[in-house]
Amino acid sequence: MGNCKVKQFVNLVLNGEAIEDAAKESGVGEMKMIDVLREVSCSGYAEEMSKVIAGVKEVTQTVKELDNTLMDLEKK
């Protein structure tokens, strides 16, 4: 049962669904985090999820850089 929930969760996230919404829709929000991570690592989705996480980190860094640039412009 957990495997199906995790598979649905991963598919939703990879298709652009917000993580919180995907967790609610798939039911993984009711599971322990360790169980979700275990299922992801045992599935064929580990690499895809790593790419999603890397993309989120890249976007976060870009937003920080933009924020710093805007703050510098405001000071001038």
For residues 24-52, average pLDDT: 83
Q: What's the whole-number mean pLDDT along residues 54-61? A: 86
The owner of tokens 């929000």 is 29
How many domains, the chain? 1
pLDDT in tens, 11-28: 898 888 988 999 999 999
Mean pLDDT of 49-76: 88
Residue 14 makes CB contacts below 8 A (sequence gap 6+) with 45, 48, 52
Instruction: State the average pLDDT over residues 33-52.
Output: 79
Residue 9 near residue 26 (C-beta atoms within 8 A):
yes
Residue-range definition of the domain harbouring residue 28: 2-75
Mean pLDDT of the chain: 85
pTM score, two decimals?
0.56
Question: Are the beta carbons of 22 and 9 closer than 8 angstroms?
Answer: yes
Helical (H) or strand (E) element with 28? none
Are residues 20 and 47 in contact, defined by beta-carbon separation less than 8 angstroms? no
